[in-house]
Chain A
């Protein structure tokens, strides 16, 4: 149920942005998900469908997921290699002094607003 908790947090953040921009309905949310973020996209989509349907602002909204490949850098030799394939040990020099440079992201990138649903003109801007 780990994905459901994450979906609740996404919805809370997106609704906050929506309210701040006088948005009534959102048609899609774009999310960047790292390959080793620990989130299973299939489960995330299932939870999303269930939870979005319970939000007036997000009912029927699509969750667009872009996967970010995981890359690890070796502190000993500087090699940058694919994390999923080689894990924590550098394939070039066998050092275990390595760290992840990308691949654990969970970023809400952007929100697509339903054009017809835009409320009265925003006060500012």
Chain B
């Protein structure tokens, strides 16, 4: 019998992606582009929240948006109306974006003159959480009709988020949604996550979110050592 040669790998499935994500972050740092990865379930209000965000921050930062979906360009069209640069990425059936797809998206967006790039990830609470996109910060939106127990059901998503926006606060009287309980569940999974109640449709509560995002962008620009750990 012929001898089988075995190569030891001992590498996480995500190791190559994590490396590419670190490289992308370092490149973005050099170019001064802050990349935000926005995740949520389908229908939680990502696009509406983005439109409001562009309205409120568009005067301060040049914004570019990448809309990732399995199909259609309805989201990119909705964003283009705001005047922000927008591109639609089709994942070809894939349920998430990884670092390489994000890099290609940024290229397609021609992002070099963009200061704030926002990736609207595929609507899904499972897979996007597993793949580092190269973003500087991760945000997720949980909408009131989805229920306050989502942090218990999708723990990984909540543990990778820097900020959780609880959207559709205006419909709270019609649902059994306990905001304090929701915040407690998020903090059980991720003590560092900031939880901000908003209503993107009416604009209520958007101030603290905009303030958070602005402070993150400015802090990242000021910190010269944030991504220096990776050689490109």
For the complex, count residues of B whose C-beta is within 8 A of A.
Answer: 27
State how many angstroms separate the Cβ of A10 from the closest Cβ of chain B.
6
Chain B: which residue is nearest A12 at the CB level? B16
Asked if A14 lies at the interface with its beta carbon under 8 angstroms from chain B, I say yes
Chain A: which residue is nearest B100 at the CB level? A12
Per-residue A-contact encoding for B112-133, CB less than 8 Å = 1, 0 else: 0000000000000011001100
Q: How far is the CA of A9 from the CA of B94 in the complex (A)?
A: 12
Task: Determine the chain A residues whose CB is within 8 A of the CB of B12 once the complex forms.
Answer: 105-108
Count of A-B contacts judged by CB separation below 8 Å:
79
Task: Determine the chain B residues whose CB is within 8 A of the CB of A112 once the complex forms.
Answer: 4-6
Asked if A78 lies at the interface with its beta carbon under 8 angstroms from chain B, I say no
Asked if A80 lies at the interface with its beta carbon under 8 angstroms from chain B, I say no
A115–B3 CB distance below 8 A: yes
B4–A111 CB distance below 8 A: no
Asked if B93 lies at the interface with its beta carbon under 8 angstroms from chain A, I say yes
B9–A2 CB distance below 8 A: no
Task: Determine the chain B residues whose CB is within 8 A of the CB of A16 once the complex forms.
Answer: 16
On whether A13 and B5 interact (CB within 8 A), knowing A2-B95, A5-B131, the answer reads no
Sample (10) of A-B pairs whose CB atoms are under 8 Å apart: A1-B93, A1-B95, A5-B96, A6-B13, A9-B14, A13-B13, A106-B14, A109-B9, A113-B4, A113-B5
Query: Nearest 6 A-B pairs (CB), nearest first?
Result: A106-B13, A113-B5, A115-B2, A111-B7, A108-B9, A2-B127
